[in-house]
Amino acid sequence: MSSARTFAEQLLSKADIKIGGNRSWDLSVHDERVFNRVLRHGTLGLGEAYMDGWWDVEKLDEFFCKVLSAHLDREITFNATVFFSVIKAYFFNLQSNSRSKRVGEQHYDIGNDLYEAMLDKRMVYTCGYWGAPSTGSGQAAARMLDEAQEAKLDLVCKKIGLKAGDRVLDIGGGWGSFAKFAAERYGASTVAITISKEQATLGRELCADLPVEIRLQDYRELDEKFDHIISLGMFEHVGPKNYREYFKIANRCLKDDGFFLLHTIGFNLSVPAAEPWTDTYVFPGGVLPSVAEIGKDTEGLFVMEDWHNFGADYDKTLMAWFKNFDAAWPALRDRYDDRFYRMWKYYLLMCAGGFRARNLQLWQVVFSKDGVPGGYKSVR
């Protein structure tokens, strides 16, 4: 038995995971080289080895929940891959205007057919708001995903006090899901910006004949006033070097009596660089903010009126997305190969495990420019 495998067995035992065990979270190894690969390249090596079929586990979400709950990720963080990721992030702005387009091309432009199969009927690619735990399956589960996403969109509208005639900016508007909802349910108009050509094209079709403008535009190009500003699941692409500029632009574009709602995945620690596997295969340049970073970079620009964490709901959302993706795979595999299937499965279920372990958070933060007279009335 190699020393690398012995180390792995000892480490995994801290999370009650066995190599060759028969429980749904136990590891099955198909290639012994996986142990040295993980020690050498950390999370990048672990993910690539899974994509290559070197190891399997019956339920990846349960495996990652146990790994992250036991904080095993902190025990093998120092390796060459992580070191160079941090060095690059320190010296370069990896989310600059020119570099930011990469995530649009690699992730969001990958194919609308994939997202249409995976998401709810409104194509909302952010965390749903589930409320009571769900036990349904099949068509009932699909309806519950639709309802959870509509509940989230409605929650956003209520938190900013949206009313008919308001003009809203949606930074990272995707396929126009919020814009369409705000127009149909509240009579508002929206300018939604995205850096994805595929999202913009389909979004314009979905929002035809509504007071919705979908622009192919970077947030740094904005300079006009709006009654309210929202940003759902885009801030993860901004990067620490750009946080302050992002909030300055939001402040500049927001009317004095308006609200700015930031909806973002968050991390429990302040980290300077992207996680290597997701940076390489899923979200190039994606970095999760911390509470401290958001607080520091909004200082002097906004008053924080409300901070709502419903990260546990992202576990449910991701599991629903995976069920949809898995069921649709036979129809998708002609366009995406089997290695892509393993990559996408790994991405969705790893994230679900991270939220279940409370390693990842989902925050909705409501800001005003100068504070609401008499106080902000929270709606949840």
Active-site positions read: 351
The answer to whether the beta carbons of residues 73 and 34 sit under 8 Å apart is no
Q: How far apart are CA 293 and CA 270, in angstroms?
A: 7
Q: Is 118 exposed, middle or buried (0-12, 13-18, 19+ CB in 10 A)?
A: buried
Q: Are 368 and 305 in contact (CB under 8 A)?
A: yes
Instruction: Kindly tell me the number of DSSP H helices and DSSP E strands found in the chain.
Output: 14, 9
Return the SS3 of 45.
helix
CA separation for the pair 367, 358 (Å, rounded) = 25
Half-sphere exposure of 197 (CA within 13 A, CB side): 6
User: Between the CA of residue 219 and those of 191, 195, 214, 302, 331, what are the distances in Å?
Assistant: 12, 9, 13, 18, 35
3-state secondary structure of 154: helix
* Rounded (to 5) percent helix, strand, coil in the chain: 50, 15, 35
